[in-house]
Chain A
Amino acid sequence: MAIRVFLPLLLLFLSSSHLAFSLYEDQVGLMDWHQQYIGKVKHAVFHTQKAGRKRVVVSTEENVIASLDLRRGEIFWRHVLGADDAIDEIDIALGKYVITLSSGGSILRAWNLPDGQMVWESFLSGSKPSKSLLFIPTNLKVDKDNVILVYGNGCLHVISSIDGEVLWKKDLTAEGIDVQQLIHPLGSDIIYAVGLSGLSQFDACQINAKNGELLKHESATFPSGFSGEILSVSSDTFVASDATQSVLVLINVRDSGISFQQTFISDLVQDFSGTAVVLPSKLTGIFSIKTNAFIVFIKVTDEGKLEVVDKIDHGATVSDALSFLEDQQAFALIQHGDNKIQLTVKQGHDWSNDLLKEGIEMDQQRGLVHKVFINNYIRTDRSYGFRALIVMEDHSLLLVQQGEIVWSREDGLASVIDVTTSELPVEKHGVSVAKVEQNLFEWLKGHVLKLKGTLMLASPDEIAEIQKIRLKSSEKSKMTRDHNGFRKLLIVLTRAGKLFALHTGDGRVVWSRLLHSLRKSEGCDYPNGLNIYQWQIPHHHALDENPSVLVVGRCGCSLDAPGVLSIVDAYTGKELNHLGAVHSIVQVIPLPFTDSTEQRLHLLIDADQHAHLYPRTHEALGIFQREFANIYWYSVEADNGIIRGHVLKDNCILEVADEYCFSTRDLWSIVLPSESEKIVATVTRKSNEVVHTQAKVMAEHDVMYKYVSKNLLFVATVAPKAIGGIGLVTPEESWLIVYLIDTVTGRILHRMTHHGSQGPVHAVFSENWVVYHHFNLKAHRYEMSVIEIYDQSRADNKDVWKLVLGKHNLTSPVSSYSRPEVVTKSQSYYFTHTVKNIAVTSTAKGITSKQLLIGTIGDQVLALDKRFLDPRRTVNPTQAEKEEGIIPLTDSLPIIPQSYVTHALKVEGLRGIVTVPAKLESTTLVFTYGVDLFFTRLAPSRTYDSLTEDFSYALLLITIVVLLVAIFVTWILSERKELQEKWR
């Protein structure tokens, strides 16, 4: 009877659990981590003159403008601009505003230096795209305002630095000049603009700074033409190279006119051959050119002669000039040595004298120095010291001072391309874990503190203590596999071609490696990484081997560029094997077969429609031949609107016999009418997704069978007119068509049209459903739609007698060739936000209910129960449906703030969401990347299979102790009572 009373109570308690993912504020950081980055630095401006916080303002290739603490490298403030709002230049005006010029010279913004608040924004219009220049003269005032000079889109603008008002604007396209340099001699009211018109005419203009009046315009033609930029060496001398890139042209602009002076590079540099490029720099009286073997520094003497001052190795990097004292200029030069770099600071006019020469130990994995910025400070002995901000090949940022690296930032992690995971090594016998486990007393003390915390009896000090214990839990950052599968390695490929392994426990970098195959080399000028695949996941018999990953890249951007491959050990980061410049790689298909060492077979499709098998072993070939006829794949040509299915045909017919190469043939093709449809999104199921059951039990003991197929492709097309984005089309001329296509047969299983809808479409495919996000132009709101697909041919297997007598067709194989009878159900709901990405949670066995993870425009990740996107929702569900858990239909999806996975944080510049199942069925790991990284653990249906983090063991212990005491006391009492009874 006791049990009968107790059970409903317990059930009542359990069922009161919440629908959504939710977190208490003190649980932040327990199972999640968040890292902030900025990306590869393009420009840096130091702000160190005044007392107080010393800072450096940087702009990056991720369109980030940030102010960093110069002492520690932390971010004071940061803004991520829009995706097509690339920053052209930055500077500091009035000592308090950071000025950014972006969007190809059309948007100028001023940010308050201390807190990053935008002060003003100016939109600069122009007539045609051109080079964009930002120039802040030190002492030029128009109407008492300090001004900013901007050249962009063919116009010269003079802007007040107080409020961003455009004081005047001069369209220089009328004169046909493409301005290359702006010069403002100190103290004058004249702005000099020099540039080119056409390829061979050099122009010099004098413009009145007060009103923009063109005072003087001189031009001269240089018959053999210029190539590249014009460099200013002094206020009236410029350098350029001619069209053949073998002659240097010194240009003098005097009152008497423009004069050209040619010097053959071969006359200056002895063993010169080929071409030379004038390196952009801002030095006075000196410039550098880059030949195929050297960087040559050339000085322009007062008489207008060129003089080679030094010749250094190819890989050197030069900074811009820094003015210090009154008239001195310095610049930094970095050369590479073995395991170290050599920083030299030289004085502008005196080459032989080094202001500073330091050797700095440098990690080989950071690669070459790409950029250097210098800043000076005054040492305690009143002499000048220099610090250098260095940007490395792997996009990391370092501050170097007095021969030491003061701080470094791994900013390569701001541009993650692809992510995969790897298990950690199994805990070996003999490995002591003693230091991890605390002694019993401390353990108990910790739990008593926790108990106090949950009972809200703890003092603030104790709360801090509890938080520290929880966050520092050494359990989560151990380097071995755990029982629940929470600890893993995230293998991350960045745009710099560097591979990082991050620990899921605390997000630290376990190892990092700059891949050989993705570095610039002789045969491969612009390598870029594409994807990572799991190459080898050792199981039972191959457990001694380390897991490894396959990194696929390409030399250049075009599809037919040669590919590069690397196989990297996931535990150590060692590059086990790399293949450079193989065949082109259009598509990589991981096959569901592994060889005896658990290496996964991969099929790489090249631009000529040949399939190449990897690994190139006979064993792999043997396995592959057995499955030869069962391999199907598809390709999508989004531009032409063609979807094709392919199969293997035979060995390749090449000049050199290659038994790992196969020719292919087209099996089917779907050609969409290009005048009415344009493919905007295609999505398939994840190949490693696990589905627990095909049957879905409905209310009233009805069963539906999910159509679960790995070969389903979701395709969304829109009207060609509607491709441009919101605000350009009317609802009448826009439509969205979605298809479900079987990729083996090319059969279209389902087709549906949304009239008045348009892209962008973001979709996710899981089990037997697709959820996609699109824009409804009629309501002018975003919509999320769901399509569920069910197998009707199995629907009549409900009869128990049929099952008993074996007359069911449940065991009949699922084949794409048997024409399936499918039923689809679909429904649409409004969704408030613009979406950047959608993913779905995945668990080990697929039993746990699913949640959609929606990356919103605010760079947050929202977890939304799949139950909200159930086509069976109705406005008034019946009692039976309610019991089944069907939510009454509402026109829009709810946004519950507590169900933001990222809680109060933002993953700036969000680009991808990856979910990985943990071993514990209830839990899934979520990794979100963009400019920031965020990792957390989710339990879509709460942790029903384990105790929660805040489970109080102490309370349990105390309960048991109290119960024991109670038993003892009552026993004594009853004994005494019995004795008394007997005496009576």
Chain B
Amino acid sequence: MAVKKSSKSILLKLSLLLFCFSLLSSALAITPGTGDGYSINGRVKIPSLGAKGFGLPGKLSNVKVILNGAQRVTFLKHDGYFSFHNVPTGTHLIEVAANGYFFSPVRVDVSARNPGKVQAALTENRRGLTELVLEPLREEQYYEIREPFSIMSLVKSPMGLMMGFMLIMVFLMPKLVENMDPEEMKRAQEGVPSLANMLPGTARS
């Protein structure tokens, strides 16, 4: 539902743009450019940008769009649009390098037969794109989250285990010994020669 909404809003914006600049109407498409190549126009959309803490204005400016593995590098305008000019026909690869987001590379077919039509697909999941709007597949969290203090984590730590074991020995063992049948106890004591009996001088009776 939400996805639908956002795509609708793009269309709306697009139609608005159509009114405003005739130049931008060709956005999100492949157009025959001046000279011998074509132009690839597209847009990078990062939905949560701005909503989150690091949605500072500097953030979008650090996004790079890369054509064919660093053959060409371009940057985003403030509205997320980018374009490559003078691109020859063939199948190309566009990557987006944005810190904190994982983008799938996009294969883009530029052919002389049907200019103006986008033939693009995400290479990660082979999903086709009807227009060249690139969105991150997921956010990247570079740090482990420190789990808040819990008794379990303390108990699970080696020292916690050690302490737990000691506690068991100190408090539970006497209880167990107490609950034992006195006769059985005697038998057990007889079976094992007491350490105290073996030491000279300490023997009491």
Interface residues of A (CB under 8 A from B): 2, 5-6, 9-10, 13, 22-26, 28, 77, 79, 81-83, 85, 109, 112, 115-121, 123, 125, 165, 454-457, 725-729, 760, 775, 777, 779-781, 832-834, 836, 857-860, 892, 895, 897-898, 900, 903-904, 906, 955-956, 959, 962-963, 966, 970
Set of chain A residues within 8 Å of B98, measured between Cβ atoms: 858
Q: Is B114 interfacial (CB 8 A cutoff)?
A: no
Given A22-B144, A118-B77, 9 more pairs with CB closer than 8 A: A77-B61, A119-B77, A125-B33, A726-B68, A726-B71, A727-B90, A760-B69, A780-B91, A858-B64
Contact: B58 with A77, CB < 8 Å? yes
Please, which residues of chain B bring their CB within 8 A of the CB of A6? 161, 165
- Is B161 a contact of A121 with CB atoms below 8 Å? no
Residues of B that sit less than 8 Å from A by CB: 23, 33-35, 39, 57-58, 60-61, 64, 66-78, 83, 85-88, 90-93, 95, 97-100, 102, 104-105, 107, 123-124, 140-146, 148-149, 154, 156-159, 161-163, 165-166, 169-170
30 contacts between A and B (CB under 8 A): A2-B169, A5-B165, A9-B161, A23-B142, A24-B146, A82-B72, A82-B73, A112-B61, A115-B61, A117-B57, A117-B61, A118-B77, A121-B77, A125-B35, A125-B86, A457-B149, A726-B69, A726-B93, A727-B93, A728-B88, A780-B91, A833-B95, A833-B105, A836-B70, A892-B124, A897-B102, A898-B142, A904-B100, A962-B163, A966-B166
Contact A906 B99 (CB under 8 A): yes
Residues in B with CB closer than 8 Å to A83 are 70
Contact A895–B69 (Cβ < 8 Å): no
Count contacts between A and B, CB distance < 8 Å.
166
Give the residues in chain A near B87, CB-CB below 8 Å: 727
Q: How far, in whole Å, are A77 and B74 apart by their CA atoms in the complex?
A: 16
Given A116-B58, A780-B123, A857-B97, CB of A85 within 8 Å of CB of B143: no
Collect the chain A residues with CB atoms within 8 Å of residue B100's CB. Answer: 904
Question: Do A727 and B163 form a contact, CB below 8 Å, given A121-B83, A859-B97?
Answer: no
Residues of the B chain whose Cβ atoms lie less than 8 Å from the Cβ of A456? 146, 148-149
Chain B residues lying within 8 Å of A5, measured Cβ to Cβ, are: 165
User: B58 — which chain A residues lie within 8 A by C-beta?
Assistant: 77, 115-117
Nearest Cβ on chain A to B114's Cβ, whole angstroms: 18
Q: How far is B2's CA from A918's CA once the two chains are assembled, in angstroms?
A: 51
B95 to chain A, nearest CB (A): 6
Q: Would B88 and A727 count as touching, CB distance under 8 A?
A: yes
Q: Is there contact, CB below 8 Å, between A955 and B86?
A: no
The complex places the Cα of A959 from the Cα of B74 at a distance, in Å, of 58
- Provide the main secondary structure of the chain B interface: mixed
Complexed CA–CA distance, A428 and B23 (Å): 73
A727-B91, A780-B91, A966-B170 known; A903-B143 Cβ under 8 A: yes
A956 / chain B contacts, CB cutoff of 8 Å: 159
Q: Of A727, A779, A904, which one neighbours B142 at CB under 8 angstroms?
A: A904
Residues of A within 8 A of B77 (CB): 117-121
Closest to B123 in A: A781
Residues from chain B with a CB closer than 8 A to the CB of A962 are 163
State the Cβ distance, B68 to closest chain A Cβ, in Å. Answer: 4
CB-CB nearest in chain B for A23:
B143
Q: A10-B161, A25-B143, A857-B70 are in contact. Are A117 and B78 (CB under 8 A)?
A: yes
Residues of A within 8 A of B75 (CB): 79, 109, 118, 121
Q: Are B69 and A834 in contact (CB under 8 A)?
A: yes
Question: Judging by beta carbons under 8 Å apart, are B143 and A963 in contact?
Answer: no
Write the nearest CB–CB distance from B40 to chain A, whole angstroms.
Answer: 11
Residue in A23, A28, A116, A832 whose Cβ sees the most chain B Cβ within 10 Å: A832
Chain B residues with CB below 8 A from A22, complex form: 143-144
The answer to whether B70 touches A834 (Cβ under 8 A) is yes
Which residues of chain A have C-beta atoms less than 8 A from B88's C-beta?
A: 727-728
Q: CB within 8 A of B23: which of A10, A77, A165, A857?
A: A165
List of B residues within 8 angstroms of A455 by Cβ: 149, 154
Determine how close the nearest CB of chain B comes to the CB of A725; give it in whole angstroms.
6
